[in-house]
Structure 1
Amino acid sequence: MRYLSGLRPAVAALVLSCGFIAHADAGQSTAIVELFTSQGCSSCPPANANLVRLSKEPDILTLSFSVTYWDYLGWKDSFGKKEFTDRQTAYEPALGQSGAFTPQMVINGRESIVGQDFNEIRRVIDSEPPLSGPPISLSTHGVVVGAGKGIPAPVDIWLVQYGPGIVQVPVARGENAGETLPHAHVVHELQRLATWQGETVMLPIPSAHRGLKRAVIVQEQNGGRIVAGATD
């Protein structure tokens, strides 16, 4: 089927003055891999398994987005949301795709592959330059995106909330009936926070829902390339 470099002293002081508590373990991502998948897609399990394998690499942020357009086949994806489908759809023109399909892995918002061949996934990731956008600092109640140069502004700042582990999903009907499918880093919430114009910006963000983690992605608009990302 078809970064988290250190903040400037002034910014750090601003964070403290606002009562934000920095997360010392916030992680810079060298690459961001998004898998668009569906529990109702018989072609998706190999890509799901590859994302599980890739999720064990700490410098790569892996995210599983469940889409909704295969729900009519007999099994409604338990994680599917329209906004996830919309995110995938926004990618396709710039990636040279005629339409959305599953499984699809999008790497740094720049490269699209099916995601069923782990060696291909590794080759694409290894060929990508590291994300080198503005520094990002996540805190308990906010995020600071530092100033950056050489990046076409404006770009969007996205907040993602995702499950940090692996979840096993039994599927009772549809193309994968009787199968139990592993999912890694399942996205539960996606929100566009603001537009970044190249200057330091501090934004309030909600605490993660119980059991979830947060990631912030800085990305060119309209499904463009990702320039920076960090997770708490």
Structure 2
Amino acid sequence: MTGPKTTLGRLAGAAFAALAATVGAASAQPLTVVELFTSQGCSSCPPANANLIKVKDQPGVLALSFNVTYWDYLGWKDTFGRQEFTQRQVNYEPTLGHDGPFTPQVVVNGSADAVGAKPGEIQNLIAQSLINKGGRTKGPDVALAGGKVSIGAGKAPGGAADVWLVRYRRGVVEVPVARGENTGRTLPHANVVHSLQRLGRWNGQATTLPLPAASGGLSTAVLVQSPGGGPILAAATN
């Protein structure tokens, strides 16, 4: 005979198992890559920076700040700006339907974008990307270990994809700005990217590439991405 306590125990156990399964499924989901193209010389960028800070620790999200260089002429040279970051943004614009780069701009998984400055705008893009994942071909598994990046077999749209190595500073850094549109302000930045390097190609076959050691306390992320500013197929971070 089953008593009330036994029944409650079974119900609690079932609820715990369902919760564990949900958490496990969420943790197994591919990373959602959120890229913010920003500049210390752009007066409209601080709200987008603040919005990226709000999502940077969200499970399943890889948030990255890429500082661009095309506002340096206004009188303040962005301390994190690099030409290769500007070029990465430029590569996105045709497929996203834009004539040229602008700041701030948030790109999610290389396939959807928004200005990112309004409250909740980045979170909405993330939510939409999770919905869209149900209709997309699953990307390859990516693992970082033992000085190597291992990419599993899968479908490479167009026959090949680029493998990008990203080094970034995890957390928030405050930058005082002395000139330009943000003169006198101290601007927070989340997960600032310090370098971007193409490691090689993935053609759908299981692939292993050497992973250079990080220095200076930087974190590592690897992106598998369709060439020319296409969708991000898979990502991993340490």
TM-score by length of 1: 0.85
Shift of 1:218: 0.5
RMSD: 1.5
Asked if structure 1 preserves the Cα contact closer than 8 Å seen for 2:52 and 2:122, the reply is no
From the two aligned structures, give the one with the greater helix fraction.
2
Structure having the higher Rg: 2
Of all paired residues, the percent bearing the same amino acid is 56
**Count of residue pairs brought into register by the alignment:** 206
Taking the TM superposition and a 5 Å limit, the aligned residue runs for 1:126-145 are 126-128=127-129, 129-130=132-133, 132-145=138-151
* Shift in CA distance, 28/218, structure 1 to aligned 2, threshold 3 Å: farther
Asked if structure 2 preserves the Cα contact closer than 8 Å seen for 1:28 and 1:230, the reply is no
Gaps of at least 5 residues in structure 1 are 1-26
Taking the TM superposition and a 5 Å limit, the aligned residue runs for 1:140-179 are 140-149=146-155, 151-179=157-185
Give the match's secondary structure for 1:165.
Answer: strand
Shift of 1:118: 3.3
Give the match's secondary structure for 1:218.
Answer: strand
CA–CA separation in structure 2 for the residues paired with 1:29 and 1:49: 24
Selected match of 2:233 from 202, 213, 227: 227
Gaps of at least 5 residues in structure 2 are 1-27
Task: Please list the CA deviations of residues 5-37 of structure 1 after superposition, one character each: whole Å capped at 9, or x if unmatched.
Answer: xxxxxxxxxxxxxxxxxxxxxx97431000000
Aligned match of 1:211: 217
* Shift in CA distance, 168/28, structure 1 to aligned 2, threshold 3 Å: farther
TM-score by length of 2: 0.83
Shift of 1:210: 1.9
Give the match's secondary structure for 1:175.
Answer: helix
Q: 4+ residue runs of structure 1 moved beyond 6 angstroms?
A: none
CA–CA separation in structure 1 for the residues paired with 2:158 and 2:209: 20
